[in-house]
Amino acid sequence: MKTYKVSLVAVIILLLTNATTTKVVAQDLKGNISISGAFALYPITVKWAEEFKKTHPNVKIDIQAGGAGKGITDVLSKVTDIGLVSRQLNAAEYKKGAYAIAVTKDAVIPTISATSPYKSVLYKTGVKKEAFNNIFITGKYKTWNALGFKSTAPIHVYTRSDAAGAAETWASYFGKKQEDLQGVAVFGDPGLAQAVQRDPSGLGFNNIVYIYDTKTNKPTNGIVAVPIDLNNNGKLDPDENFYNDIDQLIAAIVSGKYPSPPARDLYFVTTGKPNNTVVKAFIKYILTDGQKFVTEAGYIKLSKEKLKKELEKVK
């Protein structure tokens, strides 16, 4: 009996020691992480940082939104530790040392004002890819009657002024680059959403989280998605009508109904494979425990296989 008591006490002491050690290790992680880049990744990155700091209070994380172009420029110039990039990287960026780690997924969605007089009809007909091309790329469609409306009102096209992953991804849907997009150039996702919201004749594009409220799952900011007529039959079929709430849209992206592009992976980019202990710990957290916040924040989880592959990049 005495031996049993001694053993039990030893086990309890060992468990308490391990628990204490784990806590100390977590709080002993100290350092700074600087991040800049894509508006698309900014909201979820802020959430990840807040949650990470709950167990690592001695880590300071500075996050600045400024567009994917700024993110890749800052990180390759070693101004920041991480660049937020919402598009595919190019060969020149990889040659300069860019090291991309996919962390989540979202999509670029065409948008109009919630006060648009064309909204109800567009949700019956959708808009063909060719028509979007003639609006954003060729400029052939200049008035709303080109889309079948009895209106000669001009289509006020809006695009991004900053080097943006959203703009690059939307242009890539048509096999083009951001500089090929026509329209009034506006800075940032919030700015573009505001410009479209104020203009009943406006047409633009935004990332999901700037269109939908993640609490109500409904469109917000006074803008709504413009449905794409995916099968080009001149009407919005039931399996093409998935824009009423964010859950339907995410399901369409996951299933592949919504095309890619404009759906795309979102990346954390470092210069070379990350070797900073604090940066590595943050990225590992995002690819593991941090994934539980992805869906509620309005993003799409990467597959388990994809997450495993990305995690290998920081080991």
DSSP characters for 244-270? Answer: SSHHHHHHHHHHT-S-TTTEEEEEEEE
Quickly list H helices, 39-128. Answer: 42-55, 68-76, 91-95, 119-125
Rounded CA gap, 195 and 192, in Å? 5
Cα separations in angstroms, 303 against 51, 102, 232, 265: 22, 11, 30, 11
Given a cut of 70, whether residue 13 has pLDDT beyond it is no
Catalogue the E-assigned strands of the chain: 31-37, 59-65, 82-85, 98-113, 156-160, 184-186, 202-207, 223-225, 263-271
Omega cis (within 30) before 261: yes
The per-residue pLDDT for 27 is: 55
pLDDT digits (tens, 9 = 90+) for 207-232: 999 999 989 999 999 999 999 999 99
What mean pLDDT comes out for the span 42-64?
97
Cβ atoms of 259 and 106 closer than 8 Å: no
pLDDT digits (tens, 9 = 90+) for 169-217: 999 999 999 999 999 999 999 999 999 999 999 999 999 999 999 899 9
Given a cut of 60, whether residue 3 has pLDDT beyond it is no
On the question of a common fold for 30-104+266-312 and 107-263, the answer reads yes
Residue with tokens 């709430």: 245
Give the number of other CB atoms < 10 A from CB of residue 226: 21
Q: What is the distance between the terminal CA atoms of the chain, rounded to a whole angstrom?
A: 47
Cα separations in angstroms, 315 against 61, 123, 274, 310: 21, 47, 9, 9
Residue 136: which residues within 8 A CB-CB, separation 6 or more? 157, 159, 170, 171, 174, 181, 182, 183
More confident residue, 15 or 121: 121
The per-residue pLDDT for 40 is: 96
Residue 161: which residues within 8 A CB-CB, separation 6 or more? 185, 186, 187
- Can you give the residue ranges of every domain in the chain? 30-104+266-312, 107-263
Residue among 257, 258, 246 at smallest CA distance from 294 = 246
The CATH number of the structural domain formed by 107-263 is 3.40.190.10
pLDDT digits (tens, 9 = 90+) for 77-126: 999 999 999 999 999 999 999 999 999 999 999 999 999 999 999 999 99
Given a cut of 70, whether residue 240 has pLDDT beyond it is yes
CATH class of 30-104+266-312: alpha beta
Residue with tokens 């960026």: 93
CA 99 to chain centre: 18
pLDDT-based confidence at residue 135 (cuts at 50, 70, 90): very high
pLDDT digits (tens, 9 = 90+) for 281-300: 999 999 999 999 999 999 99
pLDDT averaged over every residue in the chain: 92
Structure tokens at 202: 């406006």
Given a cut of 70, whether residue 148 has pLDDT beyond it is yes
Q: What are residue 263's DSSP bridge partners?
A: 107
How many helices (H) and strands (E) the chain has is answered by 11, 9
pLDDT-based confidence at residue 28 (cuts at 50, 70, 90): confident
Residue 44: which residues within 8 A CB-CB, separation 6 or more? 104, 209, 293, 294, 297, 298, 299
The per-residue pLDDT for 19 is: 43
